[in-house]
Structure 1
Amino acid sequence: MAKLDGLEEKPLTLSVGRGHRQPKGNMRMTIYFDADFSRRSSKSTSGLVVRGVMGEILASKTVIHSAISFLFVAEAQACLQAIQLGILIRFNSLAIVGDSRTVIKKCQTTDPDKSIIGALIRDIQRKKFHFQEIDFQFIHRSENECAHNNAHEALKRGEGKYLVGAIPDYIRRALKNDGRGTQIEVVS
């Protein structure tokens, strides 16, 4: 036990060599979301990554969904999962960030939505009251790699996970070198 007393916890941060930025505004917490979808099995996964103000990874989560008909529905489901995670962790001020422009736009408005994802958008709208401040922001897929890889690998492996202060090892390895020669280092 004496050896453990000297250990200190270090936050997990992501250092990116190209243009990774925190979303606009002075948000205390940011949840990045993305989805992956298999038409053949009608399954999808939601990939979520929670970051603090300095970009440190506070948590990551993957959720498997069944009976999903379209990628569009999977993206809306992932956004709903992001809201639910924010409620679970009890954030007061939150940015929900994703690379689905349509889902983000629908979440930003209060107009009734009659599309195929209307019920999911209504659920998202109803959950906004849990936060003092909530903002939905669109980013390009290249800026959402961690959440995307999280969703993709979870679908491939058929497993959901919830990790506090971490990302799965397979995501950490994938982010070390993203295939374009850009080094992405996860520091623990």
Structure 2
Amino acid sequence: MTGRDISKRIQSYLTELDGLEERTLTLSVDRGHIRPERNMRVRIYFDAAFDKRSSRSVSRLVVLDFMGEILASKIVMHNAISSLLAAKALAGLQAIQLGISMGFNSLAIVGDSRTIDFQFVHRLENECAHTLAHEA
């Protein structure tokens, strides 16, 4: 295979990826009448891959119930991403948005990034940010 052939294959692959902006995959399991409750605790695992040369990233999300069964998965491609940190942060945000859109009240967001850390603090400890958000 020549360098030109490899280049054509890569270009073809990138063109194919451009057409895959967002794809949501949902696994449907017949559990009879049992439906997940809104207050059920679920885990959403996220990861991101980043291509520095093309400034593109891919977010991958998997939603698991408390028994470890897959409730949903999602893959999202992004353009104009500046760094791996931005790609990971965006994937974490999408994990939160996915959980909210599925109607869950309690989520555990799980990823391998040590650069993103969310922690709960009571409103009184976060008075300044709360006031700004309320005024906005």
**Scaled by the length of structure 1, what TM-score is found?**
0.43
**Deviant stretches of 4+, over 4 Å:** none
Secondary structure in structure 2 of the residue aligned to 1:78: helix
CA distance in 1, matches of 2:64, 2:81: 28
The correspondence for 2:48, drawn from 28, 32, 35, is 35
Listed as ranges, the gaps of 5+ residues in structure 2 are 1-28, 32-39, 122-128
1:9: Cα distance to partner?
A: 2.0
The correspondence for 1:95, drawn from 98, 105, 108, is 108
Secondary structure in structure 1 of the residue aligned to 2:115: helix
Q: Residue in 1 aligned with 2:80?
A: 67
Query: Percent same amino acid at aligned positions?
Result: 62
CA distance in 2, matches of 1:109, 1:31: 17
1:109: Cα distance to partner?
A: 6.5
Secondary structure in structure 1 of the residue aligned to 2:90: helix
Q: Match for 1:9: what amino acid?
A: D
CA distance in 1, matches of 2:119, 2:86: 17
CA distance in 1, matches of 2:65, 2:71: 7
CA distance in 2, matches of 1:59, 1:109: 26
Task: Determine which structure has more spread, i.e. the larger CA radius of gyration.
Answer: 2
Secondary structure in structure 2 of the residue aligned to 1:53: coil
CA distance in 2, matches of 1:33, 1:41: 22
Cα distance, 1:102–1:109 mapped onto 2, change above 3 Å: farther
* CA-to-aligned-CA distance 1:123-149 (integer Å, 9 cap, x gap): xxx8xxxxxxxxxxxxxxxxxxxxxxx
Secondary structure in structure 2 of the residue aligned to 1:67: coil
RMSD: 2.2
* CA-to-aligned-CA distance 1:160-182 (integer Å, 9 cap, x gap): xxxxxxxxxxxxxxxxxxxxxxx
Listed as ranges, the gaps of 5+ residues in structure 1 are 1-7, 11-26, 111-121, 127-188
Q: Residue in 2 aligned with 1:150?
A: none
Q: Which has the higher contact order (CA 8 A, sep 6+)?
A: 1
CA distance in 2, matches of 1:109, 1:29: 17
Aligned pairs for 1:121-160 (under 5 A) are none
Q: Match for 2:101: what amino acid?
A: L
The correspondence for 1:108, drawn from 98, 110, 119, is 119
Cα distance, 1:77–1:50 mapped onto 2, change above 3 Å: same
Secondary structure in structure 2 of the residue aligned to 1:102: coil
